[in-house]
């Protein structure tokens, strides 16, 4: 009887398999934060790259796909800008379209060229050394002989741009620097009449000026 009792006691002291497993898990849980290690959630997949919208407006793409309308051959443009780079860009674009150009780096010289040989179109910078573009524009519009000439104002100065929209006196269009060849062509095209001559909207060019343009076109002068 004693032997059995001792054997029973020995057997009862042995850890039960299930109890041993429970104790082991308990230690494991304490070591690893009190809970079974959870499977980490799947990483979110990177979103598909968005299509980059074109920097050009839809109208620009559509216009470029259609045939471009250029001013008739013999059209003369006067460029007044103090940046030789801007002058070179405008000169190259306009001459590639069959126009002739004259250039000035300040308003005073530009007005002198205007008096010597009135153009059909003027590109006028707002910020210029000496007389600014607003003052030059007022002088141009005060002269009846030049009132029919379209003037496209240009500037990259934010303050000047704000002034332009507040004091838009006699200007026909505006281009913000930097601008592309396409924008130059589009601005000119928007001013063309049925005869492909630049003209202020709502104004009829004097018959003498229109006749002079026709003569230059027929003679083939650039």
pLDDT by 10s per residue, the chain, length 222: 444 454 444 545 555 554 554 455 555 455 455 555 556 666 655 544 433 333 344 444 444 566 777 878 889 999 999 999 999 999 999 999 999 999 999 999 999 999 999 999 999 999 999 999 999 999 999 999 999 999 999 998 888 877 777 666 789 999 999 999 999 999 999 999 888 889 887 655 444 444 444 554 555 443
Please enumerate in sequence order all residues whose Cβ is within 8 A of that of 135, keeping only pairs 6 or more positions apart, or say none.
107
User: For residues 201 and 77, what is the distance between their CA atoms, to the nearest angstrom?
Assistant: 18
Is pTM beyond 0.75? Reply is no
Q: Are 128 and 106 in contact (CB under 8 A)?
A: yes
Token pair 């150009």: residue = 101
Report which of 171, 211, 161 is spatially closest to residue 191, judged by C-alpha positions.
Answer: 171
CATH topology of domain 68-219: Rossmann fold (3.40.50)
pLDDT of residue 42: 65
Q: What angle do CA 141, 163, 114 make, to 5 degrees?
A: 30
């Amino acid at each position: 009887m004693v032997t059995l009792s001792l054997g029973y006691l020995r057997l009862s002291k042995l850890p039960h398999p299930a109890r041993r497993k429970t104790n082991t898990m308990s230690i494991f849980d304490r070591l690893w934060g009190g809970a079974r290690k959870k499977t980490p959630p799947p990483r979110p997949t990177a979103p598909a790259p968005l299509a980059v919208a074109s920097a050009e407006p839809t109208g620009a793409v559509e216009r470029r796909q259609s045939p471009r309308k250029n001013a008739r051959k013999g059209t003369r443009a006067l460029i007044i800008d103090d940046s030789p780079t801007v002058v070179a860009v405008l000169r190259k674009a306009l001459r590639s379209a069959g126009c002739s150009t004259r250039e000035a780096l300040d308003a005073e010289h530009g007005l002198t060229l205007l008096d010597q040989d009135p153009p059909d179109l003027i590109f006028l910078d707002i910020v210029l050394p000496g007389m600014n573009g607003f003052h030059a524009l007022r002088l141009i519009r005060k002269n009846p002989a030049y009132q029919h000439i379209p003037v496209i104002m240009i500037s990259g100065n934010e303050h000047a741009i704000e002034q332009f929209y507040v004091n838009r006196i006699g200007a026909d269009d505006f281009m913000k620097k930097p601008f592309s060849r396409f924008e130059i062509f589009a601005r000119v095209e928007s001013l063309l009449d049925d005869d492909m001559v630049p003209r202020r909207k709502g104004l009829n060019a004097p018959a003498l000026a229109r006749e002079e343009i026709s003569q230059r076109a027929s003679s083939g002068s650039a």
